Chain A
Amino acid sequence: MIRLAAQRIALGCLLLVAASVLIFAGTQILPGDVAQSILGRSATPESLASLREELGLNKPAVQRYLDWLLAFLGGDLGTALSNGKDIGESVAGRLGNTLFLAGWAAALSVPLAIFLGLLSVRYQDRTPDRMISGLSLASISLPEFFIGYLLIYFLAVKLQWFPSVATLNADMPLGEKLRTIALPVMVLTMVVLAHMMRMTRAAILNVMQSAYIETAELKGLTPFNVIRKHAFPNAIAPIVNVVMINLAYLVVGVVVVEVIFVYPGMGQYMVDHVSKRDVPVVQACGTIFAAVYIGLNLVADLVSIISNPRLRHPK
């Protein structure tokens, strides 16, 4: 069991290094370098040359990668080429914001999705099931920017309940913070709800076909208790899997929502620096995103191993 977990973690680290190589290679292939992107329209040959010299862009690519990797392992993310700010500091603030938003969206959407999934199974093919499925499928079918604009129009412009601009800052009290992120949390919840809800429903229905469920019913348990005690524990692995995928999405894939609500998260930060070819920042963000993705998948794997005795005690 512990060996299995250690294996998985080692594999995860290896994947992470591979991902960072890919990201570095990707930023090298993009047209134009950081000096050109910083100076943009106002570049002159002299200013380009002086900026390249200053930023150390004249060293070979492999050396630049290795320099970066060593510093990164030592906890030094370096400074941004474009504005000279400390990357560690900027990323910490941005990552904190991203996790804050993702955390509240998850806290709202995961229990809701699982509860609605259970409810759907309980009332399978009856009105509540159809309503839940219909509404959640509708919300996943609409693009997130559209849902965002709809909410802005009705809740921010017309009713003025929530601010349309979710500019978060550290010195706000918690209540104020929650009000500020209310709209993006709603959008994200609507976007990830359907996937998790449908998976919960499907996984439990699958288990419900089993003979031991019939036995449980025959011994007189209430339908909801049958689902809760017998079906759900056996369906947990696929549900955890899909929950983790959605959590990872909430952390790494919400650039559109960040742009619409002007939320100071990691996505916008990374996109800005990609367009400026600011390799150290892109590297740092990319590696963190990869770590989140790999980490959450690792957790999903471990949970499914733990929850399944057959995997826990391999022959």
Chain B
Amino acid sequence: MSRQIDDYVRRTTVGLMSRREFFGRTTALGLSTAMAGTLLATSVKAMGPNKGGVIKAGIQGGESTNSLDPALSASSVPSHNLTAFGDLLVEVSPEGEIVNRLAESVESSADARTWHFRIRKGVEFHNGKTLTPDDVLKTMERHSADDSQSGALGVMRGIESMSADGDIFSVTLSTPNADLVYLMADYHLVIQPGGGFDDPASGIGCGPYVLEFDEPGVRHGFTKFANYWDDGRGHADQIEVVVLNDNTARAAALQSGQVHYINRVDPKVAELLGRAPNINIESISGRGHYVFIMHNDTAPFDNNDLRLALKYAIDREEMVDKILRGYGSVGNDTPINAAYPLYSDDLGQRAYDPEKAKFHYEKSGHDGSPIVLKVSEAAFPGAVDASQLFQQSAERAGIPLQVERVPSDGYWSEVWNKEPFCASYWSGRPVQDQMFSTAYKSDADWNDTRFFRDDFDALLAQAKAELDLAKRKELYRQMSVILRDEGGVIVPMFNDFIDAVSTSLGGWVGDPGGGSMFDGALVKAWLL
């Protein structure tokens, strides 16, 4: 048997067998998943990465309007570019632990108000400058300025002061935050020389690859940076991000061998694509989820019974089955799932229950006029179909739901966060605190359910400062319960990230943070 397992490990390591298949087969032989995982990781490490060659990725989520400015990155192609030319202070590993990158070590004061990052020495930018704590300070200042356009502005709130002294970059917070180090792992916070104030879109960082050509909406190419500090990254000589927004074009490019992996595989074709002999499907469950959001302060959604009625009237299993084709898991009307640290698994799963839905609907005293749900494909892939399933399951509970399809163009500016009931998505955050602070705190920028609850905010502040993990877990549990039973968010499903990867690529490790190894596969994987 052990020989058989060895063979599986070898074949999986070199990419002849998918990880999914590997786990299936080893479990069949009586091995626990954890043990199989360890075996595989050791083997991958022992084989060591191959150096050299050109790796190409076919990526959806790029436009000719893209910029290399890290602050403006909001989709997969720009974030692939960031991992190629840039480096962060710290990262979150696939297991949810903090990995030191440009910070050599991280320390906090006992009350979690002051944080010190010791900056790695001898790190060089592509323009020949040496990294200093001052570059880090300037970068953070650019992202946290009041008029900053950075996507990380939200996570930088609550910083009282920052300073650079010797090798140390320090952050002082206005209120304690035990999770600050996770916030510093935000992918926008790529360290730039001089903070990127002079030329934010120069594409100069201290990452493993130097920008060679930048053709937004077409392709971005990089060559290996000779003086890169970390031998564990950047195995290929050259890497290229090819923008392939059309689903079929992406699949064809992978099948014909023009790219080594593609992202955002349509769940409908994942099974078919995976049958090709030289392609593996890599899917990973993450923190991203699809939602239907109701404004808690707008009639008729200001009535908790009506909100509960709608929550019971949605068939989650059916959605995972038909919309995600099994590549996902059911949601529980809280944005938190098992992919988060400090997740409580004893909440009890809410299921489709027409009787309860009917009960709450009648109790709400709604006048029977149709409840309008606005939706477009921009909300999430399959949003229109999902809304129609929702409408049918609600109808069986006697709730008149009316699905109104609106154009994708302008959806985020005209419908989302404006209409009282619409479809949307969240890509999740590395820690619970950040997810709650971003979308459910009363004064959050993106409080898209208009959820104003003082007790919820108080729990959030309390958990932020609580360093005892068990107590914090309990506080988070209470917050999830409040959201589940009284919030305005319906979370029917958490979607998996699905990539299709050529068998010629090794070192693939799924990351719950996002697809394509959290958009870092080009710098972490290697050619076999």
Enumerate chain A interface residues (CB-CB to B < 8 A).
30-32, 36-44, 46-47, 49-51, 80, 82-85, 90, 149, 152-153, 156-157, 160, 163-165, 167, 169, 259-262, 264, 268-269, 272-273, 275-276, 278
Q: Are A152 and B248 in contact (CB under 8 A)?
A: yes
Interface residues of B, dominant DSSP: loop
With a 10 A CB-CB cut-off, give which of B58, B149, B253, B445 has the most chain A CB atoms. B149
CB distance from A130 to the nearest CB of B (A): 33
Q: Are B413 and A32 in contact (CB under 8 A)?
A: yes
Residue of B nearest to A269 (CB): B64
Q: Are A83 and B74 in contact (CB under 8 A)?
A: no
Q: Are A269 and B149 in contact (CB under 8 A)?
A: no
Q: Are B249 and A165 in contact (CB under 8 A)?
A: yes
Apart from A149-B248, A259-B245, what 15 extra A-B contacts exist at CB < 8 Å? Answer: A32-B414, A38-B65, A38-B149, A41-B416, A47-B150, A82-B65, A83-B201, A84-B201, A156-B256, A157-B252, A157-B255, A164-B252, A262-B253, A269-B217, A273-B65
B106 in the interface, Cβ–Cβ < 8 Å?
Answer: no
Distance, CA A46 to CA B258, complexed state (A)? 43
> Known: A46-B146, A262-B242. Is A80-B65 also a contact (CB below 8 A)?
yes
11 A/B residue pairs, CB under 8 Å, sorted by A? A37-B413, A40-B413, A44-B154, A50-B148, A90-B64, A167-B218, A262-B246, A264-B217, A264-B218, A268-B64, A272-B217
Distance, CA A41 to CA B410, complexed state (A)? 11
Q: Which of A30, A42, A169, A261 contacts B151 (CB 8 A)?
A: A42
Q: Are B249 and A276 in contact (CB under 8 A)?
A: no
Distance, CA A83 to CA B149, complexed state (A)? 13
B153 in the interface, Cβ–Cβ < 8 Å?
Answer: yes
What string of 1s and 0s marks CB contacts (under 8 Å) between B144-159 and chain A?
0011111101100000
Q: Which of B74, B216, B256 contacts A163 (CB 8 A)?
A: B256
Residues of A within 8 Å of B410, CB to CB, are 30-32
Q: Are A47 and B149 in contact (CB under 8 A)?
A: yes
Q: Are B64 and A272 in contact (CB under 8 A)?
A: yes
Residues of A within 8 Å of B65, CB to CB, are 38, 80, 82-83, 272-273, 276, 278
Residues of B within 8 Å of A259, CB to CB, are 245-246, 249
Enumerate chain B interface residues (CB-CB to A < 8 A).
58, 63-67, 72, 74, 146-151, 153-154, 201, 213, 215-219, 242-246, 248-249, 252-253, 255-259, 409-410, 412-414, 416, 445-446
CB distance from A255 to the nearest CB of B (A): 11
Q: Are A260 and B249 in contact (CB under 8 A)?
A: yes
Q: Are A47 and B412 in contact (CB under 8 A)?
A: no
CB distance from A183 to the nearest CB of B (A): 10
Q: Are B154 and A83 in contact (CB under 8 A)?
A: no
Q: Are A165 and B253 in contact (CB under 8 A)?
A: yes
With a 10 A CB-CB cut-off, give which of B64, B67, B253, B256 has the most chain A CB atoms. B64
Distance, CA A40 to CA B217, complexed state (A)? 18
Residue of A nearest to B75 (CB): A40
Q: Are B412 and A41 in contact (CB under 8 A)?
A: yes
Q: Are B74 and A165 in contact (CB under 8 A)?
A: no
Q: Are B149 and A39 in contact (CB under 8 A)?
A: yes
Q: Are A36 and B409 in contact (CB under 8 A)?
A: no
CB distance from B269 to the nearest CB of A (A): 13
Q: Are B67 and A83 in contact (CB under 8 A)?
A: yes
CB distance from A38 to the nearest CB of B (A): 7
Q: Which of A44, A156, A165 contacts B445 (CB 8 A)?
A: A44
> Known: A37-B413, A82-B65, A157-B256. Is A165-B244 also a contact (CB below 8 A)?
yes
Residue of A nearest to B255 (CB): A157
CB distance from B235 to the nearest CB of A (A): 24
Residues of A within 8 Å of B216, CB to CB, are 83, 85
Residues of A within 8 Å of B201, CB to CB, are 83-84
CB distance from A278 to the nearest CB of B (A): 6
Residues of A within 8 Å of B153, CB to CB, are 44, 46-47
Distance, CA A85 to CA B64, complexed state (A)? 10
> Known: A38-B72, A160-B256, A165-B242. Is A260-B248 also a contact (CB below 8 A)?
yes
Q: Which of B245, B414, B446 contacts A31 (CB 8 A)?
A: B414
Residues of A within 8 Å of B446, CB to CB, are 41
Residues of A within 8 Å of B257, CB to CB, are 160
Closest CB pairs A-B (n = 5): A32-B413, A50-B147, A82-B65, A83-B67, A36-B413
Residue of B nearest to A47 (CB): B149
Residues of A within 8 Å of B243, CB to CB, are 262
Residues of B within 8 Å of A153, CB to CB, are 252
Q: Which of B64, B74, B215 contacts A273 (CB 8 A)?
A: B64
Residues of A within 8 Å of B218, CB to CB, are 167, 262, 264
Residues of A within 8 Å of B217, CB to CB, are 264, 268-269, 272
Residues of B within 8 Å of A156, CB to CB, are 252, 256
Q: Are B66 and A83 in contact (CB under 8 A)?
A: yes
Residues of A within 8 Å of B215, CB to CB, are 169, 264
Distance, CA A163 to CA B249, complexed state (A)? 11
Distance, CA A90 to CA B214, complexed state (A)? 11
CB distance from B66 to the nearest CB of A (A): 6
Residues of B within 8 Å of A36, CB to CB, are 412-413
Distance, CA A80 to CA B64, complexed state (A)? 10
Residues of B within 8 Å of A44, CB to CB, are 153-154, 445
Distance, CA A43 to CA B149, complexed state (A)? 8
Q: Are B147 and A46 in contact (CB under 8 A)?
A: yes
Residues of A within 8 Å of B63, CB to CB, are 272, 275-276
Q: Which of A40, A164, A273 contacts B412 (CB 8 A)?
A: A40
Q: Are B67 and A84 in contact (CB under 8 A)?
A: yes
Residues of B within 8 Å of A167, CB to CB, are 218-219, 242
CB distance from A164 to the nearest CB of B (A): 4
CB distance from A50 to the nearest CB of B (A): 4
Q: Which of B146, B154, B249, B414 contacts A262 (CB 8 A)?
A: B249
Q: Are B148 and A47 in contact (CB under 8 A)?
A: yes
Residues of B within 8 Å of A80, CB to CB, are 65
CB distance from A34 to the nearest CB of B (A): 10
CB distance from B392 to the nearest CB of A (A): 29
CB distance from B252 to the nearest CB of A (A): 4
Distance, CA A36 to CA B74, complexed state (A)? 13
CB distance from A199 to the nearest CB of B (A): 32
Residues of A within 8 Å of B244, CB to CB, are 165, 262
Residues of A within 8 Å of B409, CB to CB, are 30, 275
Distance, CA A302 to CA B219, complexed state (A)? 42
Residue of A nearest to B414 (CB): A31
With a 10 A CB-CB cut-off, give which of A49, A80, A83 has the most chain B CB atoms. A83
CB distance from B432 to the nearest CB of A (A): 20
Residue of B nearest to A168 (CB): B218
Distance, CA A141 to CA B99, complexed state (A)? 57
Q: Which of B74, B245, B249 contacts A164 (CB 8 A)?
A: B249
CB distance from A256 to the nearest CB of B (A): 10
Residues of A within 8 Å of B245, CB to CB, are 259, 262
Residues of A within 8 Å of B416, CB to CB, are 41
CB distance from B221 to the nearest CB of A (A): 9
With a 10 A CB-CB cut-off, give which of B65, B154, B217 has the most chain A CB atoms. B65
Residue of A nearest to B415 (CB): A31
Distance, CA A286 to CA B166, complexed state (A)? 55
Distance, CA A51 to CA B149, complexed state (A)? 7
CB distance from B435 to the nearest CB of A (A): 15
Distance, CA A193 to CA B253, complexed state (A)? 28
Residues of B within 8 Å of A83, CB to CB, are 65-67, 201, 216
Q: Are B256 and A50 in contact (CB under 8 A)?
A: no
CB distance from A293 to the nearest CB of B (A): 22
Distance, CA A262 to CA B146, complexed state (A)? 39
Residues of B within 8 Å of A160, CB to CB, are 256-257
With a 10 A CB-CB cut-off, give which of A31, A51, A261 has the most chain B CB atoms. A31
